[in-house]
Amino acid sequence: MARSKHSDGGEEIGLLAVQVGDLTGEPGKGEQIRKALAAFAASSRPDTLLPSERVLAEQFGVARMTVRGAIDSLESAGLVRREPGRGAFVQHPRLTHSEIFRSFTEDMRFRGMEPGARDFSARLEAATEAVAAALDIAEGDPVVRIERVRTADGTAMAYETTNLPASRFPDLIEKMSETDSLYEVLDRSYGVRPENAEQTVAIDRLSPEDAVRLETQAGEPCFAIERKAHDNMGKTVEFGRSLYRGDRYVIEMHVGRAADG
């Protein structure tokens, strides 16, 4: 990925100047610069190089220690990372993919983020051998296949593909829209509420096509998560595979020793 050069700060300084505005009151300058840098980081691509401490200090008329303190705060918050001899680079905080069973929509709302979607498609297909086995139906039976890119606050986070038995969920294609929560539609329209799931997680690399979908670079690492969700009667509701950006997620697991014997 191409990296910015410090030089005189140029375009980056112009953006920061607009975000900071007029600095007034010595005690508040550091906080104003911190907020401006945070806004700059949020609107920039990961690995964007921040202007140097010297350039920022000269531009805003403050001591380098004031700028350094603001960057220290951003580093503690996970918004930037420092590389010795190179400078400070933008990074986006990673979300924890926990063991708690939630839909993508529920998870983003829980985090205070706005869930969204794009590139939505829903169609009928004949179940392949693997999909049929996962859904406990016959090979060739019709399934509803749903694909879409899931977003959080407008940023692409995951590419979802899932399959549901069409006989159990008639007219699902007509009931689903791009941004609907699948689980909310199943609950509202069919009285079915997924309660638990079996998941497997593997590390993969994004293909060029998937990288375009997720607005990142081909070959970047991702989590490939297969999910088989069940209702409270143990019947399989859906079977799918999602690709989560490795630069935006970490996986949380709770482990313990096996009981003796």
Q: Domain ranges for the chain, please list them.
A: 10-90, 95-251
Lowest mean pLDDT, pick from 109-113, 173-177, 228-232: 109-113
Find out whether 144 and 169 touch, Cβ atoms under 8 Å: yes
Q: Sorting pLDDT into bands at 50, 70 and 90, what band is 46?
A: confident
| Full-model pTM | 0.67
| DSSP character string of 140-188 | T-EEEEEEEEEEETTEEEEEEEEEEETTTSTTHHHH--TT--HHHHHHH
Q: Which fold has domain 95-251?
A: Chorismate lyase (3.40.1410)
* Rounded Cα–Cα distance for residues 91 and 258 (Å): 38
Lowest mean pLDDT, pick from 37-41, 156-160, 183-187, 251-255: 251-255
List the one residue out of 115, 136, 118 whose CA is nearest residue 127: 136
Q: From the options 3.40.309.10, 1.10.10.10, 3.40.50.2300, 3.90.580.10, give the CATH code of 10-90.
A: 1.10.10.10
